[in-house]
Amino acid sequence: MSTVATSRPVTPTGSTPRRRTALDWRIRFGVLSLIWGFSFLLIKVGTAGYAPFHVTLGRLVFGTAVLAVAMAVKRERLPRGARTWGHLAVAAFFLNALPFSLFAYSELTIPSTLAGICNATSPLWGMALSLVALSEDRPTRRRVAGLGIGFLGVLTVLGAWQGFHGLDATGTAMALLASLSYPIGWIYVRRTLAGSSHSHLSMTGAQLLLATAQLAFVTPLFTTLPSHFAVVPLLAIAALGALGTGLAVLLQYGLVAEVGPTTAQMVTYFIPVIATAAGVAILGESLTWSTPVGAAIVLAGAALTQARARR
């Protein structure tokens, strides 16, 4: 989820391509799209029985467990060096702890469909921030136009011409801030951890471990232990962590290694479609014409912001 109410792995440069797997990449691409698209529904179900911080902590615990198993199978070790761990702690906050918590809190008051569409604005925030923070990213007319079109789509989704009637401003702002957190984290990673000699799996395992520790520290300060354990929301949290945070990262690694990051990141454009369909069909959330139309405009703008000038 741009990549997500999903885990964004730390991706050092200079890695060697992996061998092709037996399962066609298109199938894995579709599975990844479904997993991240359904993540917003799982968040909604989880928050029906547990506090948002409990949902986020559980998600990170299950996700970290999947990465730990993968590291054990491949005999990977956690990275070394205090400097690396310090940078990973910042990445864990902006790429996992903060956006996961914000999405969980936002879905207390907004539908999962809206949260999924807000997630699609992440490439727009990323393009706007990269023009300021990354000197190698130069603006082009197409990318600037995409930025404007994308935010026009956001206003359409939110029903700006109606004065945002019936919209929970706090929940929507949290979802948009969660989407903004991802590119902040990625720009930080690009400036501090790109080119690391550690493997993707090792770096992301450490990142999720640190995010889990951050939530384990924060959660008792703001919430109390649940008085009872609701089964269905607990299963949703387990699926959200094991699939949406753990397995999804592994699938994304394979796709990036096999077909490249440009094709792999196209999953971002399927997430709001699946999130909307799941929210309407399974949770019975309402849908007005402005939601799908605005989402299509957002995705069109996001696609333009990712376009690079031909050399």
Q: What is the pLDDT of residue 129?
A: 85
- Per cent of the chain over pLDDT 70 is 85
Question: Most confidently modeled of 46-50, 283-287, 298-302?
Answer: 46-50
The residues, any chain, with a CB within 8 Å of residue 67's CB and separated by 6 or more, are: 201, 204, 205, 208, 246, 249, 250
In which residue are the tokens 């402005």 written?
Answer: 290
* Ranges 7-21, 47-61, 234-248, 253-267: which has the least confidence: 7-21
The pTM score is 0.85
Burial string for 29-58 (b: 16+ CB within 10 Å, else e) reads beebbbbbbbbbbbbbbbbebbbbbbbbbb
DSSP string of 198-239?
S-HHHHHHHHHHHHHHHHHHHHHHH----SS--HHHHHHHHH
What's at 163, amino acid-wise? G
Token duo for residue 58: 């559980």
pLDDT in tens, 176-233: 999 999 999 988 998 898 777 888 899 999 999 999 999 999 999 999 988 889 999 9
Nearest to 156 by CA among 291, 12, 306, 307: 291
Token pair, residue 256, equals 């990036």
- Phi and psi angles of residue 91, each rounded to the nearest 5 degrees, phi first: -60, -40
Cβ atoms of residues 111 and 266 within 8 Å = no
Percent helix, percent strand, percent coil in the chain, to nearest 5: 70, 0, 30
Distance set, CA 62 to CA 237, 283, 311 (Å): 8, 24, 44
At residue 204, the pLDDT reads 92
Reported as a pLDDT band with limits 50, 70 and 90, residue 3 is very low
Give yes or no for residue 262 having a pLDDT over 80: no
Would you state the pLDDT for residue 252?
86
Q: Which pLDDT band holds residue 134 (cuts at 50, 70, 90)?
A: low
> Does the pLDDT of residue 16 top 60, yes or no?
no
154 pLDDT above the threshold of 90: no
Q: What percent of the chain has pLDDT over 90?
A: 47
> What is residue 20's DSSP assignment?
P
Which pLDDT score is estimated for 13? 41
Q: Which residues of 81-100 are buried (b: 16+ CB within 10 A; e: fewer)?
A: eeebbebbbbbbbbbbbbbb
Q: What is the mean pLDDT of the chain?
A: 84
What pLDDT, on the 0 to 100 scale, is given for residue 100? 97
Helix (H, G, I), strand (E, B) or coil at 301: helix
pLDDT at residue 14 above 60? no
At residue 86, the pLDDT reads 96
pLDDT at position 311 is: 42
Query: pLDDT band at residue 137, thresholds of 50, 70 and 90?
Result: low
